[in-house]
Chains A and B, each alone.
Chain A
Amino acid sequence: MYTQAMDTARSDDARKPVRSAEDLRMEERFEARIAEGEFIEPRDWMPDHYRKTLVRQISQHAHSEVVGMLPEGNWITRAPTLKRKAILLAKVQDEGGHGLYLYCAAETLGTSRDEMLEALHSGRAKYSSIFNYPTLTWADVGTIGWLVDGAAIMNQVPICRCSYGPYARAMIRICREESFHQRQGFESLLTMMKEGTDAQRAMVQDAVNRWWWPSIMMFGPPDDQSPNTAQSMRWGIKRISNDELRQKFVDAAVEQAKVLGVTPPDRDLKWNAERGHYDFGTIDWTEFWNVIAGHGPCNRERLAARVKAWDDGAWVRDAAMAHARKQSSQHQEAA
């Protein structure tokens, strides 16, 4: 899910032009290990670019989980039943947990949580563009579960076989916990569509109208605009291409939309018997790049909320450390 735009590496990450013979040999061994299906662990040799790519990808995945707590968290206090409140709270809590597992996985590569958060809060690091859209109604919550988590799962399952051990293990844990997220969203929408009132049905259709295209954009730019995909594939970081995942998603979502009885906002959706897939309309890539660049509906609010939580919490973190230091120096005196 959160791997979109990862492939567009910044120029300062470009590989160093001159590599020694030793480096080349190590890199060949490294790629051979991966080709054989071996896992790379924290203390193994790895190319600098592999390390940097992973730190960026894993940390941005983590940022996405944490920022993703906000649009849904928005509705916990307003959930319409106690059961839905509990489910949503558990889901948002899981997202926090996933962010935590991923930050910890990234730390094994030589960065720290504080450094990664600094990158997020300063605007340097990215997170998935989908969370820059607002949750305007309760139906948005179910729609996020259906479409956004659905897209995420498609992206995440292949990463469970990522070559980097800590990332793969975090992803396995995440995928196991993720199983109920999409189901509860879909089920919530199905209940409203099949058993609810006209007003509820209108609410659901409106939510789908707003979330359909942004969800499709979650898979990132088209393959022909993703220059580093080949290397990421060779290094076992990326397993399936953006376009392939996107098509898979659309095919599944269209069928699911039929079950729900909602109409996707795409007049060009049509089954193509020759390809064996759904043809779909043109994605507005301008919107995608604008949102990535910070001009989406909620970019500023999302980041501001995370920065506020962090800044407001500074005195708490400092107090805990101050107390711990006092305790440990007392122990040393007593010893």
Chain B
Amino acid sequence: MSESRQEWPLWEVFVRSKSGLDHKHCGSLHAPDAKMAIQMARDVYTRRQEGTSVWVVRSEHIVASDPGDKDMYFDPAEDKVYRHPTFYALPKAVDHM
């Protein structure tokens, strides 16, 4: 695999299944851009029923707060949704970790 290759970014998918309801988080998927992400979300997450509306958001753009029991925090300064290795862009020289 060449080092110039970049993985398709991760998107979170929210679907409103019926008008009157809220959008609900149903999972994630990989897509190269927003337009493809919407289409793929439709194909992957609404193929059994008509979703009336689909939102997609880059996972890295979600800011999370998850208070819970503060003793359970791994790192209180962390505000990303997942501890995903590719969320953190490193300089090329150290990008192998």
Contact = CB atoms under 8 A, between A and B. Distances in A.
B64 A43 contact: yes
B81 A173 contact: no
A45 B73 contact: yes
A320 B5 contact: no
A321 interface: yes
Given A100-B29, A323-B33, A324-B33, A112 B85 contact: yes
A107 B10 contact: yes
Interface string B3-19: 00111101000000000
A43 B7 contact: no
B34 to A, nearest CB: 9
A321 B8 contact: yes
A228 to B, nearest CB: 24
A314 B44 contact: no
Given A314-B5, A321-B6, A29 B82 contact: no
A104 interface: yes
Contact of B32 (A109, A110, A115, A323): A323
Interface string A169-188: 11001000100000000000
B8 A44 contact: no
B27 A45 contact: no
B13 to A, nearest CB: 9
Nearest to A41: B66
A97 interface: yes
A173 B68 CA distance: 26
A124 to B, nearest CB: 15
A44 B73 CA distance: 6
A320 B37 CA distance: 12
A302 B44 CA distance: 24
A222 interface: no
Contacts of B68: 44
Nearest to A166: B27
Contact of A327 (B6, B33, B64, B84): B33
A108 B44 contact: no
Contact of A112 (B66, B69, B73, B86): B86
Interface of A: 26, 29, 41-45, 93, 97, 100-101, 104-105, 107-115, 118, 169-170, 173, 177, 314, 317-318, 320-321, 323-324, 327
16 contacts: A43-B81, A43-B83, A44-B74, A45-B74, A100-B29, A101-B27, A108-B82, A109-B83, A110-B82, A110-B83, A110-B85, A112-B86, A314-B5, A320-B33, A324-B32, A324-B33
Interface of B: 1, 5-8, 10, 26-30, 32-33, 36, 44, 47-48, 64, 66, 68-69, 71-74, 78, 81-86
Given A29-B69, A324-B32, A327-B33, 20 more contacts: A29-B71, A42-B83, A43-B73, A43-B74, A43-B82, A97-B47, A104-B27, A104-B28, A107-B84, A109-B82, A112-B7, A112-B84, A113-B30, A114-B7, A177-B48, A317-B8, A320-B32, A320-B36, A323-B33, A324-B33
